[in-house]
Structure 1
Amino acid sequence: MNTNSLQDALLLPDFLSMQPADVAATLDKKLADNHTAIEQLLGGQAKLSYAQLVPTLEHLDDEINQLWGPLSHLHGVSNKDEVRAAFDECLPKLTAYATKMGQNKALYLAFLDLLESREFSQLSQSQQQFVKLQIRDFKLAGVALNPQQQTDYGQLKQQMAELSTRFSNHLMDATELWRKHIVDSDDLLGLPESALQQALEAAKAEALDGYLLKLDFSCYHAVMTFAEQAPLRQEMYQAFNTRASDQGPHGGQFDNSQVMQELVGLRHKLANLVGFDHYADYSVAKKMADSGRAVEVFLIDLAKGCKPQAEADMRQLQEFTTTQGGPTPLAAWDVAYYSEKLRQSRFHLSQEELKPYFALSKVQAGLFDVVKRIYGIEVSPCNGIATWHQDVGFYQVSFAGKAIGYFYFDLYARQHKRGGAWMNECRNRQIKANGELQLPVAYLVCNFAPPVGDKPALLTHGEVTTLFHEFGHGLHHMMTNIDVAGVAGINGVAWDAVELPSQLLENWCWQEQSLRLFAKHHQTGAALPEDLLQKMLAAKNFQAGMFVMRQLEFALFDLRLHMNYNPAAPQSVQSVLNAVREEVAVVKAPSWNRFQHGFAHIFAGGYASGYYSYLWAEVLAADVFSRFEDEGIFNPATGAALWTQITGQGGSRDAMTLFTQFMGREPSVDALMRHKGLANSLGQGQRHES
């Protein structure tokens, strides 16, 4: 099949000719047509069979996705004025449509009739699960509310969607606003050559002499880790950690303070409206955990176990810094710099020493080799597919010579692209109206520093794990064996389990067998020397206690912000964070630190009252990987079992059922603590209950 035929067959967006304004112009008719189609569907016979009800709804949803999905994606990767304007015009309409669908009593009763029918027992497991999840979601969307309450619910959803978009736009605009022009290279002493070249190219792009520093993460990380000038580190730390806030060099511009406060209050109102005490319990209703309180207990138990090691890590860092003539106490902008020096002193290893062995092209090829060995799948490029930028690639995933999925790879940071890394759906696996199988297509996005001059893009080992992490999400989407769209891939998966496949794949970044496949010098092709490899592995758990406590800080802040909200006397977002930091933080943040103003996961993403999912799923992932450790990290039988029992199952079964099916028991924190080098921090055999 030629590429144009492939583009048409997969119903891929034509990004080359796409006009954002056309989406906004077309959307009204599409939504109206959908409403009419649903009314006609429900207005016929009293009870509908699964075949009459679900495929029609899947088809209507897919048509909306084909129209809205590409614009929504561009809003993240190419957020230019025309894209933002069209997105802002469409979002309220789609939010209203989703709310009306969720509160459609006739549609809810059609699913309820199906659940109670004789036919239900004859449906497949996937079909039954989809019906059950639909009924749950109708209840969470307020289908039982009276008309006035439903109107209130719809207004809350609209306001929340608008505020989340505003938060994201503010953060992107604030990130792009700050820059520092430096002429004298002496002011950048300590920065590695790759970072200097990146800053040099950034200056050239704006017709400036010297160097230009920006707040993209690769530049920020390089300065914080390597810049010898403490004032420069402080300046950049302050700029990065006060983005979109009332503090810092652009304090008051694009300020998210009121956005966050309003958003938390609206979430609380919405949760109350549908019968929950607070938004945390409303959020957890779709997750593995039993309640917000159960999550808090999980996090506090981890904190109690890990904090002694984190405090020891911090004491050792301070003692080392003192011997180096550094400051006492350490400031927040000193931590990464002296941590890197301590790492070099203790393990004789610099992060920069490793980068020549992690050229993106080789890591990418190695990643494809790793998943081939685990699952037997092949990844191959497809040329000629229309994309939104010349650097974006398109690939096919196949098994036994047959395509099972496709993905876009957008890996470099650039202007108008939001920071971070993520996977999103382009197409879901499902049976189309004509009876054909629609294969899944994923968007996979990272923000690595692009190649500079004749040098390829070189990754830190942390960026290598990011690439593996996002590809793990992509595999979850693309390797699904489920044909029911609502529970295929990541759909229907409990949010605190959705990170399992992604965090699981990170483990292969730390195994000698897999590293040998791709850790090769970008110029000579020489394998990563044995001494460097062993140093890297020895340094794996360097400051692991501090890292876990930082994640716990984020997770507890998110949870308590939503769980302890009191509308009669609402706490400020800052006061909640301050209290959590007093309890768990081992690195003291300055009073003007405004990390939360850039915490897009919970204010502009899907992780509100769910950031704990990373730690929760990390417990699951470490435990699952322990089976590979026992049976062989490239054991094809273990990989086949993983595909059959977890990766390919999507949301067709309860996440705990899938886990126990694969492991033969409930989860334990033991493997995670061992992997983090914290095995003695918690009592042996402690369980991760859900």
Structure 2
Amino acid sequence: MRFFLIAAFMTAVLSAGSGCEKKQADANPFFTVWDTPFGVPPFDKIKNGHYKPAIEKGIADHAAEIDSIVANPDAPSFENVIAALDRSGELLKKAYAAFAQVKAADSNDELQEADLAIAPAVSAHYDDIYLNDRLFEKISAVHEQIGGMALSAEQVRLTEQTYKQFVRAGAQLNARQKERLRDINRELSLLSVRFGNNLLAETRDFTLVVESSKDISGVPQTVTDAAADKAKEMGMTDKWVFTLSPPSMIPFLTYAENRGLREKLYTGYVKRGNNGNQFDNRQIVNDIIRLRTEKARLMDYPSYAAFVLDDRMAKTPERVYDLLDKLWKPALDTAKRELETLRAIKAKETQDSAFAAWDWRYYAEKVRKSQYNLDQTSLNLYFSLDNVRSGVFQLSNRLWGLTFRPVSVPVYNKECSAYEVLDKDNTHLGVLYFDLYPRDGKRGGAWCGTFREASYGTDGKRIAPIVTIVCNFTRPNGSDPAQLTLDETETLFHEFGHALHKLFSQVRYAGLNRVERDFVELPSQIMENWATEPEMLRLYAKHLVSGEPMPESLIRKIRKSRQFNQGFATTELVAAALSDIDIHTIEDYKPFDPEAFEKEALNDKRGLIGQIEPRYRYPYFNHIFNSGYAAGYYGYLWAEVLDRDAFEAFVESGDIFDKATALSFRKNILERGGTQDGAELYRNFRGKDPDITPMMVKRGLIKPVEPAADSVAAATPVVPQAQ
């Protein structure tokens, strides 16, 4: 159900100041029909004080709709129970969706404080729905009659999923257990908000102030110019300020010759939430794990991971460990070989072989230049933001005939832009926002969200989605357009894949928009494959000054370097996935030191080398403590098995832009939402279970094996058979 997703994404709700709340509520835009283009949120009229009354009224209206379903004297049916429930809560969804996205992308102290007040109310509201005995009786009655009803496949699926989600939300618990579950959910909602607020504060408050030009030696001019602008913004002259936002931090760690300052910046990043101050997240981590473990036991599962994974493609922690174990040793062995190469370079340059985590990116860049003659700063000249965005537009047009037309619509921040998305027959498919630069108040990382999901009205007409892509990319430098790194380029392709998944949706019921967490990254990650394909680079990678296409020699260097540093990249990713699954397979909670737990699990038990940190450490692991990836961070790797195998379908066609293959991917994956289990959807497209081999070959963990002329190499399925 869509409403349970809103409860899961309990990251934000807004509060108004008491003095002007009544006046603002009287003209609340959420209480009127939006006359904006395409029905987008009227951000030019929405004020901070509008969210709280809108969400409160949304809760009240939703509760009244539930009461009406329960009180209906007619015999329970699909239409008066399941469909009615699926349609309910529209005002709450509309208000909450707008606020959740704005709070994540453009937050401030007021919104963060309000989050702490409203989150428990929203949590309690959804508990009132899921734990409503009379409502569950009606759902159960419909569920028991499925075989005797004339229902479509989607209606059967919606009924089954509705029943399953109520059971998983505690509908079958006794009164005492339900009351305890309410308490746990309320506490978890507050802890999640506090975790996120602390992390935002730690990230925002750390700065590296550099006073001498010799201390920025090696750092690209565009980066130092941005650092100088940041210093001026903070009232400093003749100084440079570097922050923990990736466009500032990553280039400094990659190019800065001053090792001591690299250490300071790196340490500031990995110590977030672990500084013994008011923003320390270590106790919050303990409290969240304690409550999640208790919740799992309450739901009759041995661990929180077992509870979560029962509703995912992986099904069990054992299957997750099976995948991660397949990757861990070859990745770590590769990383160790990479380390020896880097250590030798450092020893030659400095006569000191001591090597730390803050040295890795710096010396890896030297290897990239020497072995592949590939200079990242020169490469960036071909990846202006306009070029890359044009590239994903061109790819979408080549594959599916889409057109993207700039439109003027209200935005929540002046840096946002928007496009109308037209299908190949020029019909309206949806609206797509872009919000791409870092700023104070924006959560780190990149994501794709919605202000409105695709759905169908009672008149049978499609309601088009309103989608947003949010990133933290390198800003423009003066009059020059923004230049993206290759990693940022792939990130935009990635998030654009999520957007296409939402834009293409043809699901008729809101409750079937949900897909498994370890399947949801397939549409995004498959798009990354095109980013560095020669045919694609020739389309969009144009020089910032000359406008000339990327030369073939440079394209070959990019292709040749694709497995560069993959031991490091895979190891830090798998390490984070192991950290996540390890902490969520705890069966009997006891207070623990997150740092010691991580060290024992990764360094002592599995041999992680000290020069590599897991991609996220517990005190700033936002994915698992303030988002929907708890016991699910492995999903990026699980989906990579799918995406690499799926991309092979295009390769096997002989044309990576093959329209027939693209249409099959659209019809069987992108349009279908959660109308079937992910494993079934994948087999509908590929005709088989996925093979892990293409993924391991791409990451350089195994060498490709050419099949004999008279045989076909056997696949090694990693994704389980549909249950």
- Is the TM-score greater than 0.5? yes
TM bracket, shorter-chain basis: over 0.9
Query: Are residues 1:503 and 2:525 paired?
Result: yes
Are the equivalent residues in 2 in contact too, given 1:71–1:87 (CA < 8 A)?
Answer: no
Query: Are residues 1:573 and 2:601 paired?
Result: no
Given candidates 370, 373, 392, the residue that maps to 2:398 is: 373
Are the equivalent residues in 2 in contact too, given 1:670–1:684 (CA < 8 A)?
Answer: no
Q: TM-score, normalised by structure 2?
A: 0.90
The residue aligned with 2:253 is: 224
Given candidates 665, 671, 681, the residue that maps to 1:648 is: 671
How many residues in Structure 1 have an aligned counterpart in Structure 2? 678
Instruction: Give the letter for the 1:628 counterpart.
Output: F
Query: Are residues 1:386 and 2:416 paired?
Result: no
What is the Cα deviation at residue 466 of structure 1? 0.4
What is the Cα deviation at residue 19 of structure 1? 2.1
The residue aligned with 2:323 is: 298
What is the Cα deviation at residue 433 of structure 1? 4.6
2-structure distance, mates of 1:206, 1:560: 42
1-structure distance, mates of 2:698, 2:175: 53
Instruction: Give the letter for the 2:232 counterpart.
Output: K
Instruction: Give the letter for the 2:526 counterpart.
Output: L
Bigger shift: 587-596 or 98-107? 587-596
User: Could you say what secondary structure the match of 1:481 adopts?
Assistant: coil
The residue aligned with 2:710 is: none
Taking a change above 3 Å as real, the CA distance of residues 183 and 637 of structure 1, as seen in their structure-2 partners, is same
Deviations 1:51-95 (A, max 9, x none): 223443233233211112211112111111232233333211111
Query: Are residues 1:357 and 2:382 paired?
Result: yes
The residue aligned with 1:22 is: 50
Instruction: Give the letter for the 2:261 counterpart.
Output: L
User: Could you say what secondary structure the match of 2:88 adopts?
Assistant: helix
Query: Are residues 1:175 and 2:203 paired?
Result: yes
The residue aligned with 1:98 is: 126
2-structure distance, mates of 1:57, 1:322: 66
Instruction: Give the letter for the 1:131 counterpart.
Output: T
2-structure distance, mates of 1:412, 1:192: 19
User: Could you say what secondary structure the match of 2:610 adopts?
Assistant: coil
1-structure distance, mates of 2:426, 2:616: 51
Bigger shift: 325-334 or 651-660? 325-334
The residue aligned with 1:212 is: 241
4+ residue segments displaced more than 6 Å: 590-594, 681-684
The residue aligned with 2:419 is: 395
Spell out the pairing of 1:233-272 with structure 2 (5 A cutoff): 233-246=262-275, 251-272=276-297
2-structure distance, mates of 1:350, 1:68: 45
Are the equivalent residues in 2 in contact too, given 1:156–1:266 (CA < 8 A)?
Answer: yes
Given candidates 452, 458, 482, the residue that maps to 1:427 is: 452
Are the equivalent residues in 2 in contact too, given 1:472–1:505 (CA < 8 A)?
Answer: yes
2-structure distance, mates of 1:638, 1:686: 23
The residue aligned with 1:614 is: 636
Query: Are residues 1:197 and 2:221 paired?
Result: no
Instruction: Give the letter for the 1:431 counterpart.
Output: Y
1-structure distance, mates of 2:491, 2:292: 31
Given candidates 619, 643, 667, the residue that maps to 2:690 is: 667
Deviations 1:254-307 (A, max 9, x none): 100101111111100111111111000111022001211221122112213433
Query: Are residues 1:404 and 2:434 paired?
Result: no
What is the Cα deviation at residue 323 of structure 1? 2.8
1-structure distance, mates of 2:566, 2:444: 25
What is the Cα deviation at residue 612 of structure 1? 0.3
Given candidates 588, 613, 635, the residue that maps to 2:658 is: 635
1-structure distance, mates of 2:210, 2:334: 40
Taking a change above 3 Å as real, the CA distance of residues 584 and 310 of structure 1, as seen in their structure-2 partners, is farther
What is the Cα deviation at residue 322 of structure 1? 2.4
Bigger shift: 140-149 or 48-57? 48-57
Are the equivalent residues in 2 in contact too, given 1:431–1:437 (CA < 8 A)?
Answer: yes
Instruction: Give the letter for the 1:687 counterpart.
Output: P
User: Could you say what secondary structure the match of 1:649 adopts?
Assistant: coil
Query: Are residues 1:516 and 2:538 paired?
Result: yes
Instruction: Give the letter for the 1:228 counterpart.
Output: E
User: Could you say what secondary structure the match of 1:646 adopts?
Assistant: helix
Are the equivalent residues in 1 in contact too, given 2:61–2:89 (CA < 8 A)?
Answer: no
Computed over aligned residues only, the root mean square deviation of the Cα atoms, in angstroms, reads 2.2
2-structure distance, mates of 1:499, 1:581: 25
Taking a change above 3 Å as real, the CA distance of residues 224 and 62 of structure 1, as seen in their structure-2 partners, is same
Instruction: Give the letter for the 2:229 counterpart.
Output: E
Instruction: Give the letter for the 2:68 counterpart.
Output: Q
The residue aligned with 2:496 is: 471
Are the equivalent residues in 2 in contact too, given 1:397–1:403 (CA < 8 A)?
Answer: yes
1-structure distance, mates of 2:155, 2:596: 46
The residue aligned with 2:468 is: 443
Structure 1, gaps ≥5 residues long: none
Bigger shift: 603-612 or 34-43? 34-43
1-structure distance, mates of 2:341, 2:606: 18
User: Could you say what secondary structure the match of 1:448 adopts?
Assistant: coil
2-structure distance, mates of 1:478, 1:599: 29
2-structure distance, mates of 1:674, 1:681: 6
The residue aligned with 2:302 is: 277
1-structure distance, mates of 2:607, 2:98: 40
The residue aligned with 2:97 is: 69
2-structure distance, mates of 1:32, 1:591: 47
The residue aligned with 1:328 is: 353
Are the equivalent residues in 2 in contact too, given 1:419–1:447 (CA < 8 A)?
Answer: yes
Given candidates 127, 132, 136, the residue that maps to 1:108 is: 136
Are the equivalent residues in 2 in contact too, given 1:23–1:86 (CA < 8 A)?
Answer: no
2-structure distance, mates of 1:121, 1:587: 59
The residue aligned with 1:148 is: 176
Structure 2, gaps ≥5 residues long: 1-31, 706-712
Instruction: Give the letter for the 2:243 counterpart.
Output: K
What is the Cα deviation at residue 412 of structure 1? 0.8
Deviations 1:380-417 (A, max 9, x none): 2111x111111101112221110112121111111111
Deviations 1:170-199 (A, max 9, x none): 011111111122232111000011111111
Given candidates 89, 105, 111, the residue that maps to 2:117 is: 89
User: Could you say what secondary structure the match of 2:472 adopts?
Assistant: strand
Are the equivalent residues in 2 in contact too, given 1:310–1:545 (CA < 8 A)?
Answer: yes
